Amino acid sequence: MESETIVTLSSFLVEPNPRPATEAERAQKMVSPAFGTVFTDHIAMIPWHADRGWHDPRITARASLSLDPAASVLHYGQAVFEGFKAYRQPDGSVATFRPNAHGERFIRSCERMAMPGLPVETFIEATDRLILQDRAWVPTHPEHTMYLRPLMIATEAALGVRRAQEYLFLVQASPTGPYFASGIRPIAVWASREYSRTAPGGTGMAKCAGNYAASLLPQEQARSKGCSQVMWLDAKEHRFVEELGGMNLFFVLAHGSDKVVVTPTIEGGTLLAGITRASLLELARERGYRVEERLVPFDEVLSAIADGTMLEIFACGTAAVVTPVGRVLSNEGEHVVTEDEQMGPVSAELRSALVSIQRGTAPDTHGWMHTVPGTG
Ligand code: PLP
Ligand code: COI
């Protein structure tokens, strides 16, 4: 089913938006863009058909989609997405962070949801072409970035429960400020034992829409307890910490006079293999920290908070970057990691190392940054 067709940049049809935002409108929208609320003038779009593969790629005006009411995404939820960012560089060019890794994860998500894989080259070309078209929307504000949201949905009009024969890939771009309205101040998280995110053999490793739909009710429960995210525990025993609803988790533990950086293992396939997570693991190792990817019992987290050996907890992801966790709430009560309004030193060190690479103020020794052709 996977199409080998590679759609090249030159084959993209560009249909400029006949009514783009004026410079003044754009400037006004970009003053303080809350996450996911401001969108650029264009989207990238590539349809797929079982008989034709990927075809007719285009950059076109952002507008409502027209879908048949029987489109199978509306009924059976074949929908996967990605999230990554473009950063304005000191020389004015625009670079994306690890688009290859996001393109590869997109393929893994598609495979799990029985959807056709989009070649990584095409994934990158579509986003490059969109960024080039809408480069005026890439923020210059040091705290703002352009969030890119690739999406694939099943568009075939058919009510049979089977993989669809038609899909649409699209990318939209959204200039954004910090994900949390509170900025990077510590957040509180609710450890849910009532609900589960995904079970072994489920879709936890895929960035599919259903995972997020199922998280909304527990997320509201978390909010009602004053928490901004659910801390998911494993579905089988509710014993091990997995991740947050849209972020991975790290723990900084004291080990004698040393600090150990610990993050839940992704081996069980129930967590999203975060690209920020993988990058921070590398940065932490390079800085000489002992790093552990392993099962993290929730009891260990609570006892380390209680005895003071839990030095820092932080969440990480494309949207959240590195965000400190100040409090963990659970059925056992409230567990305060820190009363400090600032993030801890290890979180701050790793955040700064990552952001400096993304912003082009530190050398990109890992080859993580991809300059968008034509923006230099
Ligand atoms: N976990 C979940 C459930 C997510 O939605 C995200 C965000 O994409 C992450 C983790 C972090 O992944 P990444 O660092 O690749 O953005
Ligand atoms: C991201 O960080 O890209 C996410 O997708 C998290 C959330 C906004 C869904």
Task: Say if residue 22 is in the same domain as residue 136.
Answer: yes
Look up tokens 């003038």; give the residue.
41
Q: How many domains does the chain have?
A: 2
Encode 7-39 in three state secondary structure: CCHHHCEECCCCCCCCHHHHHHHCCCCCCCCCC
pLDDT reported for residue 2: 44
pLDDT reported for residue 293: 98
pLDDT reported for residue 309: 97
Distance 256 CA to ligand 2 centre (A): 36
The finding on whether 318 has its CB within 6 A of some atom of ligand 1 is yes
Atom of ligand 1 nearest to the CA of 279: 14
| DSSP string computed for 84-132 | EEEEE-TTS-EEEE-HHHHHHHHHHHHHHTT-PPPPHHHHHHHHHHHHH
Task: Say if residue 135 is in the same domain as residue 241.
Answer: no
Residue 370 lies in a domain: no
Query: Distance between CA 354 and CA 332 in Å, rounded?
Result: 35
Q: What is the DSSP letter of 9?
A: G
Task: Give the count of beta carbons closer than 10 Å to the beta carbon of residue 235.
Answer: 16
Task: Say if residue 131 is in the same domain as residue 198.
Answer: no
pTM of the model: 0.96
Task: Say if residue 255 is in the same domain as residue 342.
Answer: yes
CATH number, domain with residue 200: 3.20.10.10
Residue 153 lies in a domain: yes
Residue 145 lies in a domain: yes
**Which ligand has the shortest distance to the CA of 278?**
1
Instruction: Tell me: pLDDT of 3 over 50.
Output: no
Instruction: State mean pLDDT over 108-125.
Output: 97
Task: Say if residue 171 is in the same domain as residue 221.
Answer: no
Element (H, E) at 229: strand 229-233
Distance 132 CA to ligand 1 centre (A): 25
Instruction: State mean pLDDT over 60-72.
Output: 98
The finding on whether 270 has its CB within 6 A of some atom of ligand 1 is no
The finding on whether 272 has its CB within 6 A of some atom of ligand 1 is yes
Task: Say if residue 236 is in the same domain as residue 344.
Answer: yes
pLDDT digits (tens, 9 = 90+) for 136-169: 999 999 999 999 999 999 999 999 999 999 999 9
pLDDT reported for residue 5: 57
Task: Say if residue 156 is in the same domain as residue 200.
Answer: no
Instruction: Tell me: pLDDT of 1 over 80.
Output: no
Residue 144 lies in a domain: yes
Output the six-digit token pair for 16: 């400029």
Q: Which of 119, 149, 176 is the last residue of a domain?
A: 176
Query: Distance between CA 232 and CA 315 in Å, rounded?
Result: 12
Task: Say if residue 235 is in the same domain as residue 92.
Answer: no
User: What is the distance, to the nearest Å, from the Cα of residue 5 to the centroid of all Cα atoms in its chain?
Assistant: 26
pLDDT reported for residue 267: 97
Distance 160 CA to ligand 1 centre (A): 32
Q: Which of 146, 176, 206 is the last residue of a domain?
A: 176
pLDDT digits (tens, 9 = 90+) for 296-309: 999 999 999 999 99
Torsion angles phi and psi, residue 151, rounded to 5:
-145, 145
Instruction: Tell me: pLDDT of 10 over 90.
Output: no
User: What is the distance, to the nearest Å, from the Cα of residue 367 to the centroid of all Cα atoms in its chain?
Assistant: 20
Nearest CA to ligand 2 atom 3: 83
Element (H, E) at 221: helix 216-224
Residue 245 lies in a domain: yes
Instruction: Tell me: pLDDT of 117 over 50.
Output: yes
User: What is the distance, to the nearest Å, from the Cα of residue 262 to the centroid of all Cα atoms in its chain?
Assistant: 20
CB 305 within 8 A of CB 275: no
If one residue of 276, 314, 355 were mutated to test the ligand 1 pocket, choosing by the most ligand atoms within 8 A of its CB, it would be 276
| DSSP string computed for 123-191 | HHHHHHHHHHHTGGGS--STT-EEEEEEEEEE--B--SSS--SEEEEEEEEEEE--SSTTTTSPEEEEE
Atom of ligand 2 nearest to the CA of 81: 5
**Which ligand has the shortest distance to the CA of 105?**
1
The finding on whether 264 has its CB within 6 A of some atom of ligand 2 is no
Task: Say if residue 25 is in the same domain as residue 151.
Answer: yes
Look up tokens 């285009």; give the residue.
58
Nearest CA to ligand 2 atom 9: 246
Task: Give the count of beta carbons closer than 10 Å to the beta carbon of residue 62.
Answer: 16
Instruction: Tell me: pLDDT of 229 over 90.
Output: yes
Residue 374 lies in a domain: no
Task: Say if residue 121 is in the same domain as residue 213.
Answer: no
The finding on whether 83 has its CB within 6 A of some atom of ligand 2 is yes
CB 190 within 8 A of CB 230: yes
Domain that holds residue 203: 187-358
Instruction: Tell me: pLDDT of 223 over 90.
Output: yes
Query: Distance between CA 236 and CA 136 in Å, rounded?
Result: 48
Least confident of 188-192, 201-205, 255-259, 272-276: 255-259
Output the six-digit token pair for 154: 């099943």
Q: Which of 126, 157, 176 is the last residue of a domain?
A: 176
pLDDT reported for residue 11: 86
Average pLDDT in the chain:
95
Task: Say if residue 312 is in the same domain as residue 202.
Answer: yes
295 three-class SS: coil
**Which ligand has the shortest distance to the CA of 151?**
2
Element (H, E) at 264: strand 258-264
pLDDT digits (tens, 9 = 90+) for 230-267: 999 999 999 999 999 999 999 999 998 999 999 999 99
Atom of ligand 1 nearest to the CA of 82: 8
CATH number, domain with residue 60: 3.30.470.10
Distance 289 CA to ligand 1 centre (A): 23
Task: Say if residue 227 is in the same domain as residue 288.
Answer: yes
The finding on whether 372 has its CB within 6 A of some atom of ligand 2 is no
Contacts of 16 (CB under 8 A, 6+ apart): 42, 61, 133
